[in-house]
Amino acid sequence: MIKSDEYDILRFMRFFGPLKKEQVCMYFESKINGDVKRIISNMCARRILAYDVKRFLLYPSGRIDERQVDFKMIAAFWVFLRFKDVAVGVYPTQYPTQILFVKDDTEYEIAFIDKGEEVILSATLNEKNSGDVKYLIIVENLEQIPSINIKNVAAYCTRRAGKVEFYKPSESEVVCNE
C-alpha cells in the first residue's frame, strides 16, 4: 500500500518526468513529513520508483527510456528550486518553455535555450507571450544573451559549478546566486 507522502512523490514524478534525485529531495524537504531520502529509498526498494545510478535520475518504475529524459526540464527545475518556497504552484509546460509557476500574482515561465536556438525561440516566445508572463531564460553561456530578443525577460540564468546564477536582462551582471 502506498502511503500519502509516497503518493505525493509518485504523482509529482509522473507529472514532471525524470529528475535528478537531489532535485526531488530538495523539492519535498519541507513538503512532507519524514526523511525524504529514506522515503525515496524505500520507494525504490519496493520498485515504485527507479533510480539510474549513472545519471542520478529518479523516475516512476518502468516508465522511462532514453528519449523520455528531458534535460531541458532538469535544467529548468534547478532554476525553479530557487523559487520553491515562494511559488504558489508549479506546472510542467509544453515547448518552448519547460515550467510555469506563479509568484506574487505573476506568472513566470522557465525556458532553456540551446546554442543556435536563440533566434527561433525568441520569435516563438514573443508570438506566444500574452504580456502577463515573465520569462526566466536559461542559457548555456552568456555569449548567447545578445542574440536573444524576448519581451518580458525577468532574468537570464546559467548553472555553473552546481549553482544557479541570475543575470539582469540588459546586463551581464549577476543579480542573485545560490
Q: Does 171 score more than 60 pLDDT?
A: no
- Each residue's pLDDT tens digit, 19-69: 999 999 999 998 887 799 999 999 999 999 999 888 899 998 876 665 678
Query: Are the CB atoms for 48 and 61 separated by under 8 Å?
Result: yes
Of 131, 79, 71, 72, the residue nearest 98 (C-alpha): 72
Q: How confident is the model at residue 4 (pLDDT cuts 50, 70, 90)?
A: confident
Tracing cell 509557476 back to the chain, one arrives at: 101
Residue range 107-166, pLDDT digits in tens: 999 999 999 999 999 999 988 866 789 999 999 999 999 999 998 999 999 988 889 999
Domains and CATH numbers, the chain: 4-68 (1.10.10.10), 71-177 (3.40.1350)
Residue 43: what pLDDT?
A: 94
**176 pLDDT more than 70:** no
pLDDT at 17 exceeding the cut of 60 = yes
Burial class (CB in 10 A: 0-12, 13-18, 19+), 148: buried
Model pLDDT, residue 172: 45
Q: What pLDDT, on the 0 to 100 scale, is given for residue 85?
A: 93
